[in-house]
């Protein structure tokens, strides 16, 4: 029998080699067809007396990415359609569908023949669950091999036996850590945890796996043998008593109850370890069916997997423009941002010319890459030769002539129009006519900066976030005259350095900063109202934000907030900034010299390590303090999220961002907008436009104009629309604009 996604070869020793190699896919994934084929192969292996056992491996560089998420989406779409007619029947169908993979892997485990998984590369999710169901597991000794059960990161959990096999192979503490964080495991870490048996030279991977079978590997899982004992001891033991109460408290501290899938993992492990294995699988299947119906899962799967994947593949890149293969890229300005951009560019294997006003300044910028790579080497994430290779790609200079031959120049000089004008003119004097000039400005409109260029069609914005090596988002900003070619080249650059691009039309603050400034502004208002600073920060984290607004202000610098406010007043007039907020920031900077983390004092005090930062006690003396019982904590959480979401809606109304995927993914990657909601627009869609408008009106009445719902939202509320209906990213032609 022939298969589309697998090949089956039986050697002279009677060992079947099952090679997974899906056509037309860069990575193997579990589709319905792939699972049916694997099911048939298991039957073949089990039913053929001449076959002693099977080794399953991949014909690609990676092993597998796990389940095809679009398959899960299809299951959910079917459930949504059928539940309107018969909820019980629809739920039962979802339960049965969710259990197919569980049943397949259990079939491998109990088929009576030994199976060995030979893991040659990335092995994620369902693929690792399948490997755990095999009787033996061998991983190649390679940096390319990473194993994980990362489902919790997209709002679900490993529901094909992962929550039951992992804590039966390793101790419960390590199991919970792995399952609730989705952490990647190296072969060495996986072996130390007992999740794999051997590590082999890549060239001997299959040979080592086959040897396990010829050496008498038992075709029985440990938990199916009489007398099996859990590695870390039973739930009801002294070890269990020391583990579970803190584990529950830690999960609550880390997630604030916002992630149902993470809580379900604890329930699955706890309940599952108290019962026989097959019963435990049914418990897991029940919880998985429940989580699959949650709005958090739907939102996170869409934004953090599907939309993110589509944007990374260039969903918004102009069609018909040839791909750019970069031979040399110039970076103007070797300060913190410029040095960071140089690092990620060189890390992508692209030669970089790093230019500053003098050679020592440029060399200091290169030293930033040296420091980052030295840290990677120290942590074992890179080799000394990797560091040497990267540094050899960065050429520090003070001579604009060295930019000749660059395909793209990224300007990251001081945020001053005059300085940027001078850098643009000097660079264009030596660049070829086809070269693209990109500005990393964070505040100045691209159209205004493009007036400094002799080639405005080749002028574009690429707005990075700090620190560049860690932040995954880049805003690509279009000026009025920016060409499709410039946009395509910017896309190719962002994708080459493995960042996620979103397209933003020109406006003050672009997209991300407009939302972030609203977040900070609301916190300043709360302080002025007398809300204790600790309540503001804690409310933000409880709402799902990774960093409180006051801490975020410190990170970006309090004196920068002052400069932005002053510039806004200069450009737009006194009414553009709340005078009370201006007074607060002036007091922080001018009276108390508190500039933020950079000088060790802002809204927080930053003592020497290992001491942790703490809120500045002087904050409570700036305004009369409300008693905590007088503060509506839930309303604080609501205000912080709603003010951001309203700004995101305004950005869509104004046509600054036109694709809801970009608004959602951008809000999560840039400033961590409550990921469990799926992003700023999905937050509104999850609540429903009608109810959201009602909430906004209540806040508008109590707290002011920043909570006024835009006409777009009022229209959507009246029509019962969502953003993904109104601005359907998959429809042909232009998205619908606001009414």
Going by pLDDT thresholds of 50, 70 and 90, the confidence category of residue 738 is: very low
- pLDDT for residue 739 is more than 50: no
The residues of the chain that CATH labels 3.90.226.10 are 6-293
Distances in Å between the Cα of 308 and the Cα atoms of 496, 499, 641 are 16, 11, 21
Mean pLDDT confidence for 286-306? 94
Q: From CA 453, how far away is CA 318, in angstroms rounded? A: 23
Residue 720 pLDDT:
96
C-alpha distance across the termini of the chain, in Å: 59
Going by pLDDT thresholds of 50, 70 and 90, the confidence category of residue 705 is: very high
Report pLDDT digits (tens) over 27-70.
999 999 999 999 999 999 999 999 999 999 999 999 999 999 88
Q: Which residues are catalytic?
A: 463
- pLDDT for residue 525 is more than 50: yes
The residue ranking higher by pLDDT, 196 or 444, is 196
CATH: 3.20.20.70, 3.40.50.11540, 1.10.1040.50, 2.60.40.10. Which one for 513-726?
A: 1.10.1040.50
Q: From CA 45, how far away is CA 53, in angstroms rounded? A: 7
Going by pLDDT thresholds of 50, 70 and 90, the confidence category of residue 146 is: very high
C-beta neighbour count of 535 within 10 angstroms = 15
Report residue 30: phi and psi, to 5°.
Answer: -80, 110
Report residue 393: phi and psi, to 5°.
Answer: -85, -10
DSSP bridge pairs for 327:
none
Enter the CATH code of domain 329-510: 3.40.50.720
Report pLDDT digits (tens) over 338-371.
999 999 999 999 999 999 999 999 999 999 999 9
CB 599 within 8 A of CB 592: no
Residue 735 pLDDT:
38
Residue 369 tokens read as 């890459």
Q: From CA 553, how far away is CA 589, in angstroms rounded? A: 12
Q: From CA 662, how far away is CA 47, in angstroms rounded? A: 51
Going 143 to 145 to 150 to 153, the CA torsion angle's sign is positive
- pLDDT for residue 734 is more than 90: no
Report pLDDT digits (tens) over 615-627.
999 999 999 999 9
DSSP per-residue letters across 366-426: HHHHHHHHHHHHHTTSS-HHHHHHHHHTEEEES-GGGGTT-SEEEE---S-HHHHHHHHHH
Q: What superfamily in CATH does domain 6-293 come from?
A: 2-enoyl-CoA Hydratase; Chain A, domain 1 (3.90.226.10)
The residues of the chain that CATH labels 3.40.50.720 are 329-510
Residue 416 pLDDT:
81
Mean pLDDT confidence for 6-22? 97
CB 413 within 8 A of CB 425: no
Identify the H or E element spanning 439. Answer: strand 436-439
Residue 736 pLDDT:
36
DSSP class of residue 322 equals P
Per DSSP, the chain holds a count of helices (H) and strands (E) of 31, 18
Residue 636 pLDDT:
98
Mean pLDDT confidence for 119-138? 97
CB neighbour class for 513 (10 Å; exposed up to 12, middle 13-18, buried from 19): buried
* Buried b or exposed e, range 342-377, using 16+ CB within 10 angstroms: bbbbbbbebbbbbbbeeeebbbbbbebbeebbeebe
Mean pLDDT confidence for 694-706? 96
The residues of the chain that CATH labels 1.10.1040.50 are 513-726
- pLDDT for residue 731 is more than 80: no
Report pLDDT digits (tens) over 400-433.
999 999 999 999 998 888 999 999 999 999 999 9
C-beta neighbour count of 714 within 10 angstroms = 17
CA neighbor of 352 nearest in space, from 423, 398, 409, 400: 409
- What percent of the chain is modeled with pLDDT above 70? 99
Report pLDDT digits (tens) over 242-265.
999 999 999 999 999 999 999 999
Going by pLDDT thresholds of 50, 70 and 90, the confidence category of residue 1 is: confident
CB 593 within 8 A of CB 599: yes
- pLDDT for residue 487 is more than 50: yes
CA neighbor of 115 nearest in space, from 210, 191, 179: 210
Report pLDDT digits (tens) over 267-282.
999 999 999 999 999 9
CA neighbor of 460 nearest in space, from 318, 667, 664: 318
Residue 609 pLDDT:
84
- pLDDT for residue 443 is more than 90: no
Residue 551 pLDDT:
96
Mean pLDDT confidence for 641-657? 97
């Amino acid at each position: 029998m022939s298969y589309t996604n697998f090949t089956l070869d039986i050697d002279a020793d009677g060992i079947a080699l099952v090679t997974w190699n899906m056509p037309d896919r860069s990575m193997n994934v579990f589709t319905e067809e792939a699972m049916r084929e694997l099911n048939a192969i298991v039957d073949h292996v089990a039913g053929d007396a001449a076959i002693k056992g099977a080794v399953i491996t991949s014909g690609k560089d990676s092993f597998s990415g796990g389940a095809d998420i679009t398959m899960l989406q299809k299951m959910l779409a079917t459930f949504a359609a059928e539940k309107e007619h018969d909820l019980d029947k629809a739920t039962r169908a979802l339960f049965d569908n969710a259990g197919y993979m569980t049943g397949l892997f259990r079939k491998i485990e109990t088929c009576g023949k030994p199976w060995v998984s030979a893991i040659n590369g990335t092995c994620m999710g369902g693929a690792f669950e399948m490997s755990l169901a095999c009787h033996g597991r061998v991983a190649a000794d390679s940096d390319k091999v990473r194993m994980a059960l990362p489902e919790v990161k997209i709002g679900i959990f490993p529901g094909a036996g992962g929550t039951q096999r992992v804590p039966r192979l390793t101790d419960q503490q390590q199991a919970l850590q792995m399952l609730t964080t989705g952490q990647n495991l190296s072969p060495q870490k996986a072996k130390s945890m007992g999740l794999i048996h051997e590590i082999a030279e890549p060239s001997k991977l299959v040979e080592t796996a086959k040897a396990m079978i010829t050496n008498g590997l038992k075709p029985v899982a440990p938990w199916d043998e009489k007398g099996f004992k859990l590695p870390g001891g039973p739930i009801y033991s002294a070890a269990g008593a020391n583990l579970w109460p803190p584990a529950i408290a830690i999960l609550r501290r880390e997630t604030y109850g916002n992630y149902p899938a993470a809580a379900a993992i604890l329930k699955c492990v706890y309940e599952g370890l108290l019962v026989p294995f097959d019963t435990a699988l049914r418990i897991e299947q029940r919880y998985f069916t429940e989580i699959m119906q949650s709005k958090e899962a739907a939102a996170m799967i869409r934004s953090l997997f599907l939309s993110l994947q589509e944007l990374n593949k260039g969903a918004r890149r102009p069609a018909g423009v040839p791909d750019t293969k970069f031979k040399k890229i110039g970076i103007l300005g070797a300060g913190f941002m410029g040095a960071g951009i140089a690092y990620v560019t060189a890390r992508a294997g692209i030669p970089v010319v790093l230019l500053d006003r003098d050679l020592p300044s440029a060399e200091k910028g290169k030293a930033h890459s040296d420091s980052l790579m030295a840290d990677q080497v120290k942590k074992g994430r890179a080799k000394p030769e990797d560091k040497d290779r990267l540094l050899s790609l960065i050429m520090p200079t003070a001579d604009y002539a060295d930019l000749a031959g660059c395909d793209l120049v990224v300007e990251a000089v001081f945020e001053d129009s005059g300085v940027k004008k001078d850098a643009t003119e000097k660079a264009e004097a030596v660049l070829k006519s086809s070269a693209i000039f990109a500005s990393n400005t964070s505040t100045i409109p691209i159209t205004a900066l493009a007036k400094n260029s002799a080639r405005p069609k080749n002028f574009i914005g690429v707005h990075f976030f700090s620190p560049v090596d860690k932040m995954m988002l880049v805003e690509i900003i279009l000026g009025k005259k920016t060409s499709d070619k410039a946009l395509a080249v910017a896309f190719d650059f962002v994708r080459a350095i493995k960042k996620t691009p979103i397209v933003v039309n020109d406006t003050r603050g672009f997209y991300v900063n407009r939302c972030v400034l609203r977040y900070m502004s609301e916190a300043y208002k709360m302080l002025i109202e007398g809300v204790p600073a600790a309540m503001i920060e804690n409310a933000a984290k409880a709402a799902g934000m990774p960093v409180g607004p006051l801490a975020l202000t410190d990170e970006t610098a309090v004196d920068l907030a002052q400069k932005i406010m002053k510039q806004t007043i200069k450009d737009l007039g006194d009414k553009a900034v709340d005078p009370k907020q201006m007074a607060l920031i002036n007091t922080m900077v001018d009276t108390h010299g508190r500039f933020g983390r950079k000088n060790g004092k802002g809204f927080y005090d930053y003592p020497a390590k290992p001491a942790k930062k703490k809120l500045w006690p002087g904050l409570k003396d700036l305004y009369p303090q409300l008693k905590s019982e007088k503060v509506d904590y839930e309303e604080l959480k609501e205000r912080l999220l709603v003010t951001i979401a309203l700004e995101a809606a305004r950005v869509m109304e104004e046509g600054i961002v036109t694709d809801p995927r970009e608004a959602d993914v951008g809000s999560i990657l840039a400033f961590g907008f409550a990921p469990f909601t799926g992003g700023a627009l999905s937050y509104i869609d999850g609540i429903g436009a009608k109810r959201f408008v009602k909430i906004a009106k209540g806040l508008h009445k109590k707290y002011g104009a920043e909570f006024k719902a835009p006409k777009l939202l009022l229209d959507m509320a009246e029509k019962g629309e969502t953003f993904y209906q109104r601005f359907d990213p998959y429809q042909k032609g232009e998205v619908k604009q606001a009414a």
